[in-house]
C-alpha cells in the first residue's frame, strides 16, 4: 500500500479542487438571494418535484461553472432554487451517472457544492427495480441502507486526497440514512395517504447502463438487497462525508426478472411510465415531509 501511494504513476486525486467547488458555490450565491437548507436530487422522471417550488430561479447545468450536463431521458439538466412549503430548497432536475462516462467524482460533484451553499439535509430519489418479492410496481421504498457494488471495485468518490474542509478521512456509513428523517417520512406518508404503498429496504447500486441479468438479480437477493438501480450511492457517500443528513426514496418502477422462462424485459420506457403514474404521490410525500423537517 505504501509503495502504491509513493508511485508517481498512480493518481489517487480527484480531478476537482476545493477551489473548483468554491467557485461553483460562489457563482450560484451571486446569482440568487436564496439560501437553501434542503437539497433534492430528482431521479429518472421525477423532475416534477422541482415544479412544486414557488419563486423559482432556474440555472441550466451548462451555464454553471464546472457542472457537466445530464444526457439521460427523463433528466432535464437544470438546478432549480425556490420555496417548498415556505422552506428554501434547491432541486437537481437530472443527476449525473457513472454509466454516462462521468468520473465517480463528477457524479457526486453537486453535493459538495450544496454543502458550501449551506444545505443541511439531502433528499435523494431514484427509480429502481424491485428485488423483494413482496414489493409491487409503484411502491415507494424508504432506503434504510445500501450496497455499493462499484465501491467494492474501488469506485468511491472519497478515494484519493481527503480535504478536511469537507470531512474526515474515514467517515462511518452505518448511519448513512438518517433514522429520524425516515421516521418523519413514514409519518408524512401516513398523513398523505401513501402508507399503503410505502416500503423500507436496502438499495443496491450497480454501474449500469445494462439492466441486470437473471443470475445477477438472484445474487443481489442473496446479499439482502430489496431494490437495485444505477445511482444515488455516490451522492450519499459525499453527503455523509460533509455531515449532511440524508433521506433516500426509491420508486419501484419495475420488478426484476428472476425466471429464465419469463418473456419480461426491463426497459427505460417502463421506468418513465411508472414514474409518471406515481409521481404525484411521491411529490405530495416529499412536499409534506419538507414542511415537517
User: Which residues are marked as active site?
Assistant: 44, 75, 97, 99-100, 127, 230-231, 254, 268
Burial of 103 (0-12, 13-18, 19+ CB in 10 A): middle
How many Cα atoms are found within 13 Å in the side-chain-facing hemisphere of 50?
26
E-strand spans in the chain?
A: 38-42, 54-60, 78-84, 87-93, 121-130, 140-148, 198-205, 227-229, 245-255
> Assign residue 202 a region: left if phi > 0, alpha if psi is -120 to 50, beta otherwise?
beta
User: Beta strand 198-205 with 121-130: parallel, antiparallel or unpaired?
Assistant: unpaired
Place of cell 462521468: 102
* Sequence-ordered list of residues with C-beta below 8 angstroms from that of 91, at least 6 positions apart, any chain: 39, 40, 41, 42, 47, 49, 50, 53, 79, 80, 81, 82
Give CA–CA dist 61/65, Å, rounded: 8
Give CA–CA dist 57/209, Å, rounded: 32
Which of the 8 DSSP states describes residue 185?
H
Burial of 82 (0-12, 13-18, 19+ CB in 10 A): buried
Give CA–CA dist 209/196, Å, rounded: 31
Amino acid at each position: 500500500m505504501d509503495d502504491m501511494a509513493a508511485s508517481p504513476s498512480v493518481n489517487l486525486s480527484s480531478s476537482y479542487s476545493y477551489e473548483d467547488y468554491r467557485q461553483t458555490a460562489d457563482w450560484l450565491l451571486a446569482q440568487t438571494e436564496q439560501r437553501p437548507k434542503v437539497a433534492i436530487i430528482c431521479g429518472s422522471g421525477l423532475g416534477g418535484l422541482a415544479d412544486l417550488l414557488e419563486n423559482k430561479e432556474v440555472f441550466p447545468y451548462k451555464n454553471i461553472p464546472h457542472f457537466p450536463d445530464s444526457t439521460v431521458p427523463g433528466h432535464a439538466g437544470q438546478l432549480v432554487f425556490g420555496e417548498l412549503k415556505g422552506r428554501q430548497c434547491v432541486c437537481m432536475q437530472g443527476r449525473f451517472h457513472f454509466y454516462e462516462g462521468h468520473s465517480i467524482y463528477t457524479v457526486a460533484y453537486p453535493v459538495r457544492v450544496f454543502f458550501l451553499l449551506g444545505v443541511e439535509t439531502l433528499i435523494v430519489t431514484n427509480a429502481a427495480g424491485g428485488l423483494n418479492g413482496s414489493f409491487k410496481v409503484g411502491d415507494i421504498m424508504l432506503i434504510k441502507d445500501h450496497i455499493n457494488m462499484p465501491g467494492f471495485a474501488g469506485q468511491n468518490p472519497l478515494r484519493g486526497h481527503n480535504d478536511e474542509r469537507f470531512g474526515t478521512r474515514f467517515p462511518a456509513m452505518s448511519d448513512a440514512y438518517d433514522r429520524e428523517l425516515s421516521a418523519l417520512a413514514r409519518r408524512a406518508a401516513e398523513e398523505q395517504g401513501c402508507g399503503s404503498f410505502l416500503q423500507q429496504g436496502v438499495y443496491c447500486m450497480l454501474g449500469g447502463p445494462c439492466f441486470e441479468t437473471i443470475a445477477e438479480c438472484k445474487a443481489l437477493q442473496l446479499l439482502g438487497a430489496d431494490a437495485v438501480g444505477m445511482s444515488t450511492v455516490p451522492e450519499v457517500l459525499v453527503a455523509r462525508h460533509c455531515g449532511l443528513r440524508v433521506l433516500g426514496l426509491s420508486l419501484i418502477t419495475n420488478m426484476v426478472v428472476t425466471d429464465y422462462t419469463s418473456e419480461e424485459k426491463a426497459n427505460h420506457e417502463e421506468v418513465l411510465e411508472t414514474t409518471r403514474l406515481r409521481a404525484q404521490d411521491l411529490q405530495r410525500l416529499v412536499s409534506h415531509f419538507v414542511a415537517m423537517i
